[in-house]
Structure 1
Amino acid sequence: MTLLLVWILNAVALLIVAYILPGINVASFGSALIAAVVLGLLNMLLKPVLQVLTLPLTIVTLGLFLLVINALLFWMAGSMLKGFEVAGFWWAFIGAIVYSIATSLLSNLIPN
């Protein structure tokens, strides 16, 4: 039950990001649900690999390169899906930050 609630809240967070930022478009709530699944899978499967491969760069930038990795995964999800579009890297960068903030705030609504 909690997984379903987290999935819906992540889709709502994507809709919030699309509402706030003009460079990110989500066609419908269904598209947001699919995009939330794809973002979750990319973060689960590719993010650890990218973090290991870019560890020296991450250390040199004191961890700030992790924001770039998040933006690239956000942009990749936008390029893979039809109903979820990201206009460019900088929109993905800002969108990934806003999406992280929105999911953090919305996750506080879930009872422990």
Structure 2
Amino acid sequence: MINLIVRLIVSSVVVIVAGRVLQGFYVDSIQTAVIVAIVMGVLNTIVKPILQFLSLPITIMTLGLFYFIINILIVYLCAYLVDGFSVSSAIAALLFSLGLSLAQGIAGLFLD
């Protein structure tokens, strides 16, 4: 349970920092950042594996680069689902996705 709470806090902090640093990336409030972290977690757990499976031939043909497109789509889907959160460029979505993955990986090293 502590593992889940720490990951939620890390994700929320990444969302807040990205909202302040990245142009084209807007987060309304801290409450919105927590909601975005929860929705991103759900999307990454449920929707992302389905998209990865369905796009496996394209991912193989592009030598894995299509995986970045899937990450961008997940961020845009989260922006569509959560009010007060918007992304206006694919580069901002990609940088956010990479930053979130990096932060979750680092948090995972300390939690495991």
TM-score, normalising length: structure 2: 0.88
For 1:60 and 1:99, the matched residues in 2 are separated by 26
User: What is the alpha-carbon root mean square deviation over aligned residues?
Assistant: 1.7
What SS does the aligned partner of 1:63 have? coil
- Pairing 1:60-79 to 2, within 5 Å after superposition: 60-79=61-80
TM-score, normalising length: structure 1: 0.88
Match of 1:89 in 2: 90
Kept in 1, the 8 Å contact 2:10–2:103? The answer is: no
Which residue type is aligned with residue 62 of structure 1? Answer: L
Match of 2:58 in 1: 57
**Distance of aligned partners of 1:42 and 1:108 in 2 relative to their CA distance in 1, 3 Å threshold:** closer
Kept in 2, the 8 Å contact 1:13–1:102? The answer is: yes
Shift of 1:109: 7.9
- Pairing 1:1-112 to 2, within 5 Å after superposition: 1-105=2-106, 107=107, 110-112=110-112
Which residue type is aligned with residue 93 of structure 1? Answer: L
Deviation digits for residues 34-54 of structure 1, max 9, x if unmatched? 000000101111111101110
Uncovered stretches (5+) of structure 1, i.e. residues with no partner: none
Kept in 2, the 8 Å contact 1:17–1:99? The answer is: no
Report the count of equivalent residues: 111
For 1:109 and 1:27, the matched residues in 2 are separated by 30
For 1:110 and 1:29, the matched residues in 2 are separated by 24
Uncovered stretches (5+) of structure 2, i.e. residues with no partner: none
What percent identity do the matched residue pairs reach?
Answer: 34
For 1:18 and 1:100, the matched residues in 2 are separated by 16
